[in-house]
Amino acid sequence: MRKIIYALILAVMMTSCMTYQGFYNVGLQNVERPENAKERYGESKIVNFEEEGKTKYSYEDDMIKIVWLPLSTQFGFTLQNKTDHSIKIIWDEAVYVDPNGSSGRVMHAGVKYIDRNNPQPPTVIVKNASIDDMIVPTDNIYYVSGKYGGWRTKPMLPNRANTQEELNALTQQYIGKEVRVLLPLEIQGTVNEYIFTFKVEDFIAK
């Protein structure tokens, strides 16, 4: 009898702690460049493709090729320098804009969480080379104290709730919304501001 009671208590505890969650499909929709970019860096194109079961988004012009992988807490990317000059990513001027239009600072790979609000040196991409990196909004990073604490990263869009109904109501308000990433790229002393606009296409519960 005691075992049955313990089993019932455990089942109730597991049910009460259950959360419903899923992931958003976020696709690259548009890229804004400086006004004279077409004359300097040619035509541009956006392509989406599947790789290892994940949807990635490629943007390319005569200056760069960048492949994005939107994830729940970050934007992973590979950036290729197609020019004969070095390109610098000016991290202290990079910005993430959330669905409500609020903009904030970002950090990238190699930066310690505790240093996320400190100046970040530019990343240099030499001619005809590429790098793998990521972008994380610093406002989403926080610290939890205690025995099981540590650094945490909130999802860029809320993706979990206590019931399926709450999850549906929560996520539906973000479908169709846009988020943006401003990535300043300096070449030969000129900073080119690329603004990548991503659209929240749908939400898949799991």
Evaluate if pTM is beyond 0.85.
yes
The percentage of the chain sitting over the pLDDT mark of 70, rounded to a whole number, equals 90
pLDDT-above-90 percentage for the chain: 83
CA-to-CA separations, 188 to 3, 36, 37, 43, 81, in angstroms, rounded: 73, 15, 14, 20, 13
Is the pLDDT at 64 greater than 80? The verdict is yes
pLDDT 10s digits, 6-47: 443 434 333 445 689 999 999 999 999 987 766 778 889 999
Q: Is a pLDDT exceeding 90 seen at residue 134? A: yes
- Give 68-102 pLDDT, tens digit per residue: 999 999 999 999 999 999 999 999 999 999 999 99
